[in-house]
A and B are shown apart, each in its own frame.
Chain A
């Protein structure tokens, strides 16, 4: 330990920190425990036995409408958002390292997207798609207008809404990555005759890969838990957190806790997966050095 003695303030602050952590984790831990409530148990303690009853009920879809559908939709959307967030943030991150026209405006818009209340963005996207729908129905060519219902959906307006939320975080992380990126690697590659594409493929991407996985992880969990921007943009099919929110008004038994525990479980599984990936990449790099130039 350090030679200097801890000041009394340390113990006070450490206790404060411990309380804060208990405050953060305590409630979530309580519903985790309560989701294993016995079949006759209620929403609060005491536990009437321990069982997987509520998970089983959830799995069968009993009591709750179309949970498995919402689950699949959220998972699919989350994965696409993850991939797009990684690809678009990487490209934009590379672009911001050079100068380009409109860079300042784009940065301002990106930050504004974080700050403008989600409900406003959500409403705007909904209006955009509704007006587009009306245009098609009233003025579109007959082959298109006939039987046309709506262009709104999970993977059109919904996807766009999620990207306005995940991409700003993605870009900020990219900034942090490229601030620490040593440009001499690229210069060395160039001096050795690598084309820009080869430099990107064999030098830049392997070096930033762990952080890029982090960006993807961020993208997935932000999308997986998103409600505010989804609220007006998903069309007729709700995502999982939206179903969960709808359930809170009619909550009568612990299956909502089971759903909460299951959703949180997916989040943690994804985090674990991403961390595992990063660890494997790290070990591979340590073993082989960089695979730069090995085509």
Chain B
């Protein structure tokens, strides 16, 4: 027993309110998602009787339409394509920015200032940052005005806005920060003597990058990748706003179901999305032990 002088609260009690929030608003809700995905429903309400209807409906046509792809597979493939494109772009851009900040900016004050400059836009609403592309990319937008007056095109380019292009562009615009921050953090922790040792041993700049800096930045790269990939996987807002509500995605399927108040199929799709997300994280976890690096 602790002596009477030690009257500190036990840790479990101190963490209790915090834990309660996650029990009530995260763990329990996920349990309900799993349960409701096996419920039945009609036009007005969900019916608590067991059925696999929501799943069979979700995967309808997946066997009969072979070798063609059913809707849900097409949607997931298209989402995966966006994941890959956005991941590649944010990784290259994010790594370059982080590398510049960590190894080419010389004073800590300057590093932090420039890092903050990258952070500030993160404090404004994503929707605002999305609609900000309208005056630039729209049919009468700045880009089209420029292209027309330069005589490069003779009628406005239509694929700039409400297209796959604008969705990918918005993702890169919104979420490159999630790559920059962890990679920058990992790079700042690299022992500078390793760089000097490589330099003294005659490594070229490129060799230094591929043999020293990239391997040591791997934890940051993995964390950034998890953020970006899971965001794109579950997104429905960027796809909606920038795709003109025309492009399907794994997250948007759920939203569509919800707008029709079909909760069990929405829950089944949510289970599917969760499964896909965990597969991706497990794959990334094989590359680097994330828990150790946090």
A contact residues vs B (CB 8 Å cutoff): 2, 6-7, 9-10, 13-14, 16-17, 20-21, 23-28, 30-31, 34, 42-45, 87-89, 91-92, 94-103, 106, 109-113, 115-121, 123-128, 130-131, 157, 160-161, 163-164, 167, 171, 195-197, 221, 224-225, 227-228, 231-232, 241, 244-245, 248-249, 251, 256-257, 260, 263-264, 267-268, 271
Contacts and interface: CB of A to CB of B under 8 A. Distances in A.
Contacts of B251: 117, 119
Contacts of B32: 124, 127-128, 131
B36 A91 contact: no
Interface stretch (B12-20, B55-63, B187-195): B12-20
Contacts of A89: 18
B202 interface: no
Interface residues on B, range: 35 or more
Nearest to A125: B29
Contact of A244 (B46, B117, B128): B128
B118 to A, nearest CB: 7
Contacts of B281: 115
Given A45-B145, A115-B281, A120-B33, A248 B127 contact: yes
Contact of B21 (A7, A163, A260): A163
Given A27-B173, A100-B12, A116-B30, A160 B131 contact: no
Given A44-B138, A44-B140, A248 B131 contact: yes
A113 B274 CA distance: 12
Contacts of B173: 23-24, 27
A196 B132 contact: no
A16 B100 contact: yes
Contacts of A225: 123-126
B100 A248 contact: no
B220 to A, nearest CB: 15
25 contacts: A16-B97, A17-B101, A20-B118, A24-B173, A26-B136, A34-B135, A45-B145, A92-B14, A92-B19, A98-B11, A102-B12, A103-B11, A106-B18, A109-B27, A119-B234, A120-B30, A128-B28, A195-B7, A224-B125, A227-B127, A228-B237, A244-B128, A245-B237, A256-B131, A268-B123
Contacts of B134: 43-44, 251
A117 B29 contact: no
Interface in B114-154: 114, 117-118, 121, 123-136, 138, 140-142, 145
Contact of B129 (A27, A34, A125): A27
B21 A164 contact: yes
A25 B24 CA distance: 39
